[in-house]
Amino acid sequence: MTRRVLVTGGGTGIGRAIAHAFAEAGDTVTIAGRRRAPLEAAADGQTMEIREADVTDEAQVKVLFDTPFDVVVANAGTGVAGRIEDVELADWQHTLTVNMTGTFLTFREALRAGMGAGGRLIAIASTASLQGGAQIPAYAASKHGVLGLVRSVAQGVAKRGITCNAICPGFVDTEMAESAITGLMARHDIPREKAVRMVVGGNPMQRLITPEEVAATAVFLASPGASSVNGHAMSVSGGEI
């Protein structure tokens, strides 16, 4: 049976890879995001529905769920780097609102819309959900919150035959990793090669994770073989966690 899959933040990076993986598996995919151009680019060559929505806006999230989805991937996220002394309150609040509140609203509306038995809720968290980071206090705090939400929702939906899990990637080869690399280059006045080594230093494989590796994990968590995997934080980090 063809499933209906929603991927928030589906226009770029991890979200785009996840959307393509589900489409290639034969599912009917909807990608949502704030900007139409990246969504259209992501859907090029694939049969996908495009929905413009800001996951921090309660009304816009409600509209996304005019009909139920079988699989919902809360991928939309953001991050700000800087030691706590340098983080502005507005940046702190924005990070928590996008990462935590956005995931909360997405999952809440998915369940309110009538997700049935066999449904899958998946949050794209981070290894920052499992450890701290001196340069990413806002991001780490928000992703810890996402994991707490996932574990709580998992307990609440288990008897309904629905699972809720988190994927915790290390640094993935996306725009966010590129921003981290260029930030290190600027702050420390170092060449790109050294900055890349610093970014991947925590990964025993000494490389960036690919978006496709995260996407494959999402497809697994949505598969029948993962029906008893619930409330889990699946690290995709080369052994970092």
**Which residues are catalytically annotated?**
139
Cα distance between residue 22 and residue 218, in whole Å: 9
Report residue 182: phi and psi, to 5°: -65, -30
Chain length of the chain: 241
